[in-house]
Structure 1
Amino acid sequence: MIKVLIGDDHRIVREGLKQVLADAPDVSVLAEAASGPEVLAQVQALGGSAGLDLVLLDIAMPQQDGLEVLQILRRTHPTLPVLMLSTYPEKQYAVRCIKLGAGGYLNKSADPDDMVAAVRKVAAGGMYVTPDTAEALAAAMASAGRSGAAAQAVVAGVDALSHREYQVFRLLSMGHAVGEIGAQLKLASNTVSTYRARILEKTGTKNDVELALYAQRHSRSTPLR
């Protein structure tokens, strides 16, 4: 029996996932969580890989997003497989998730049969990769090979960003002001400013102009991320 923990902040999504997985006789949902800290607490309570076979984890989680939780789980429970789940396009986030240690990336619109197949494969220690994800990974690897150490440093800086920081990074690099970003992401302006400061620190840039140039280098080194 594959023992699964579902981490998603929307109850209707968790119920839908449980219904899909209930049709698989070899899969059992042991627990669910609605926030990043809850996921970590549930994993700890269940004994990590001793009590779980898979964490099915949404990217957009409150308090600690899925990418942050994934990185923590890789440090604290390195043998516990994690399958990332999101509404975001695979070419935007799949490569990031896999680089950070996820066993796969699945869009929430995936066919139920594909969902069950992904759960089985990742729980068994394999890597679940859709054609779109495979294309994005191949492009990222090819670009890294061509670009050398400078591109690797750029990618490393972006990979250090949390999900929300990455959203703000993309909007800042497109020339949006802090107030505009706050309105779009439904965040207070001072919160966006805090994210901006973290982004500048993690990317080693000093202002929005340097950040825009950094983003251009990033897009060239990993065009399909």
Structure 2
Amino acid sequence: MKTYPYILIIEDHEVVSAAVEALVMEDFPEASFRKAGSFPKGKKLLTEGPPVDLIVLDVDIPGGESYKMVETLRSIQPNVNVLVFTGQDENPHAIRFLKAGANGFLSKNAPFEQCAVAVKMILNGKKYVSDTVQEIITSSFFDKSPSSDESYDSALSPRETEVMELLLQGKWTKDIALELNLNPTTVSTHKAKIFQKMDVTNVIDLYKKYYSL
């Protein structure tokens, strides 16, 4: 039984590709890597090889398809995790790639060690969003009008609505518990009910469901 991850790095700069591999191996020393210097080569490796656990994808890759790349990769392996790792600005590209289905977005301008953090979080079944992207999402929350579908509001209790608003502001469970004077376990219960009623599994999808990005 495989206990180590298969990772496909689609990156045309060999130095960056090697650095990503070295960082990831600090946490996953038995990880297996495949590398592609172009998007067509990445698709070929994904098609011909065994399933991979994570794709680290450069946006500016030769032969790339912009925001369609995540969808294209998922058409080959539906459940593959995708971390977008790019030199492009986080605003507006981060939200667009997250909306396209990426599991995380990391700027190459961030401390390089964050790449290892992002990879570890995604391989553990979580989404990765940097502090900068979280601020972008929070700003968008205040700048945009809510969806015309108000049925979501009626499905939530007043307390659940309070918790949801704070989640969408980027606050963590312990912060919400302090602000609302609740036990963190109670907040977690409200959070689970919110996700169930909104038919989502994480805060990013909750934001996308409730607000038009």
TM-score scaled by structure 2?
0.61
- What's the counterpart of residue 61 of structure 1? 61
* Displacement after TM superposition at 1:15 (Å): 1.9
Structure 1 CA distance for aligned equivalents of residues 87 and 13 of structure 2: 12
* Displacement after TM superposition at 1:143 (Å): 4.2
What is the SS of the residue equivalent to 1:145? coil
For residue 15 of structure 1, the aligned residue among 2, 13, 18 is 18
Deviations 1:16-71 (A, max 9, x none): 22222232235624200011111111111223xxx311000000011124533212
% of aligned pairs identical? 24
- What's the counterpart of residue 95 of structure 2? 95
Structure 1 letter corresponding to 2:115:
M
Structure 1 CA distance for aligned equivalents of residues 5 and 110 of structure 2: 20
CA RMSD of aligned residues (A): 2.4
- What's the counterpart of residue 37 of structure 1? 40
> Is 1:84 aligned to residue 84 of structure 2?
yes
Pair 120,81 (structure 1): closer, same or farther in 2 beyond 3 Å: same
* Displacement after TM superposition at 1:79 (Å): 0.9
CA contact (8 A) 1:58 1:66 kept: no
Structure 2 letter corresponding to 1:21:
V
User: Which piece of structure 1 moves more, 59-68 or 79-88?
Assistant: 59-68
CA contact (8 A) 1:56 1:82 kept: yes
Structure 2 CA distance for aligned equivalents of residues 27 and 67 of structure 1: 31
What is the SS of the residue equivalent to 1:140? helix
> Is 1:70 aligned to residue 70 of structure 2?
yes
What is the SS of the residue equivalent to 1:110? coil
Unaligned runs of 5+ in 1: 150-220
What is the SS of the residue equivalent to 2:60? coil
* Displacement after TM superposition at 1:144 (Å): 4.4
Residue-pair matches, total? 148
Unaligned runs of 5+ in 2: 150-211
Structure 1 letter corresponding to 2:108:
K
More helix by share: 1
TM-score scaled by structure 1?
0.58
